[in-house]
């Protein structure tokens, strides 16, 4: 049994947080992860407020355990999304793609733990002053919107720079990843890609199969030239990005490619023309499993790794 202070901070059994993936992390997945002893997280992405209200209602009907909501700070509905989270507080709010500073006091006032995802030391340092509860240090192995540093380099730097608990994200798949994160000073992990293939995850089977089929070099980073790098599984759309970026197409034209493309993949199941955001560990995902099985595999794996570490050093 692997427990850390993160378990006490969030009221969960295992130090595992599910990534708040837009269009992927719905009530069904979040509730299943929370029921299994991790922290399930609804990914509100750029979804309208009514969608979030419905997901919150559904999650609360499926679990009485703590769960969270990820707020994507570039959402066109940001103010309305925050208003919902202030009206009916959740245990945890994670944030991505920006600085949540001005929302922190009101959320904390209601007892909501605020955990921003950071991809740089500078942002983590800036945010310590706004009163957040912990950080998720996310390396560029992750799927979706990413920074420049790898988890291996970023995580210990964030751990050294701040006095708050740090959770590792990016490149974590199993017990080995959890133990590695703990060794680098993290108190737990956040995992997205592996939970895409949870049985309870509502994305089309076609998308799950695409992740399962992926090999080590099958993700690509698009949008570096626009300042919004995104990692996704290689397909017709990422090849189009590559072509346009090579030809120095206007930034607006490149950004246009991405509009609506995440929904196209994750809801419509169009794995060629949509953006199938997924991390580098896609290659390790080889089957669909219930969320509970995923979590127990990670925890049992981590225990076994810890047990064998001493024998490994000769």
Q: Using the minimum distance from each CB to ligand TUI, give the nearer residue, 53 or 228.
A: 228
Site for ligand TUI in 110-129 (CB under 6 A): 117-119, 123
Size, binding site for ligand TUI by CB under 6 A: 19
Q: Which stretch binds ligand TUI (CB under 6 A): 53-61, 144-152, 204-212, 284-292?
A: 144-152
Is 47 a binder of ligand TUI (CB under 6 A)?
A: no
State both tokens at 121.
């030391």
Are the beta carbons of 189 and 168 closer than 8 angstroms? yes
| Of 222, 223, 217, nearest in space to 280 by CA | 217
How many other CB atoms are found less than 10 A from the CB of residue 84? 18
Are the beta carbons of 203 and 196 closer than 8 angstroms? yes
State both tokens at 128.
């310590």
Q: How many helices (H) and strands (E) does the chain have?
A: 14, 11
Is 74 a binder of ligand TUI (CB under 6 A)?
A: yes
Sole binder of ligand TUI in the list 145, 172, 178, 197 (CB under 6 A): 145
Sole binder of ligand TUI in the list 96, 175, 274, 301 (CB under 6 A): 96
Is 277 a binder of ligand TUI (CB under 6 A)?
A: yes
Cross-sheet strand order for the sheet of 113-118: 16-18, 188-191, 166-169, 135-138, 113-118, 92-96, 67-72, 40-43
CB of 61 to ligand TUI, least distance (A): 27
Sole binder of ligand TUI in the list 139, 144, 165, 301 (CB under 6 A): 144
CB of 313 to ligand TUI, least distance (A): 35
CB of 254 to ligand TUI, least distance (A): 12
Q: Using the minimum distance from each CB to ligand TUI, give the nearer residue, 18 or 119.
A: 119
Are the beta carbons of 265 and 274 closer than 8 angstroms? yes
Q: Which stretch binds ligand TUI (CB under 6 A): 93-101, 175-183, 244-252, 290-298?
A: 93-101
Residues 26-63 as b/e (b if ≥16 CB within 10 A, e otherwise) read bbbbbbbbbbbbbbbbbbbbbbebebbeebbeebeebb
Residues that bind ligand TUI (CB under 6 A): 22, 45, 72, 74, 96-99, 117-119, 123, 138, 144-147, 228, 277
């Amino acid at each position: 049994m692997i427990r850390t202070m993160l378990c006490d901070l969030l009221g969960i059994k295992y130090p595992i947080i599910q990534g708040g993936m837009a269009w992927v992390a719905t009530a069904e997945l979040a509730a299943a992860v929370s029921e299994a002893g991790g922290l399930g997280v609804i990914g509100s992405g750029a979804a309208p407020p009514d969608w979030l209200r419905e997901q919150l209602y559904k999650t609360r009907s499926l679990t009485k355990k703590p769960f969270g909501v990820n707020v994507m700070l570039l959402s066109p509905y940001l103010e309305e999304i925050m208003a919902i989270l202030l009206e009916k507080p959740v245990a945890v709010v994670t944030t991505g793609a920006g600085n949540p500073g001005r929302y922190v006091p009101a959320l904390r006032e209601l007892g909501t733990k605020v955990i921003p995802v950071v991809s740089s030391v500078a942002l983590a340092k800036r945010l310590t002053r706004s009163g957040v509860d912990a950080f998720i240090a996310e390396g560029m192995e992750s799927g979706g919107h990413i920074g420049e540093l790898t988890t291996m380099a970023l995580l210990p730097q964030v751990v050294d720079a701040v006095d708050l608990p740090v959770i590792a994200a990016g490149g974590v798949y199993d017990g080995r990843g959890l133990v590695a994160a703990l060794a680098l000073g993290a108190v737990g992990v956040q995992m997205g890609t592996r939970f895409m293939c949870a049985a309870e995850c509502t994305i089309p089977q076609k998308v799950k199969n695409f992740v399962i089929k992926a090999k080590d070099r099958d993700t690509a980073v698009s949008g570096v030239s626009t300042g919004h790098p995104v990692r996704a599984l290689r397909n017709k759309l990422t090849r189009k990005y590559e072509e346009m970026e090579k030809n120095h197409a206007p930034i607006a034209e490149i950004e246009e490619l991405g509009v609506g493309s995440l929904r196209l993949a994750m809801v419509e199941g169009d794995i060629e023309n949509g953006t199938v955001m997924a991390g580098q560990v896609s290659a390790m995902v080889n089957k669909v499993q219930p969320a509970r099985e995923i979590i127990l595999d990670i925890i049992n794996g981590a225990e076994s790794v810890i047990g064998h570490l001493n024998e490994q050093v000769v």
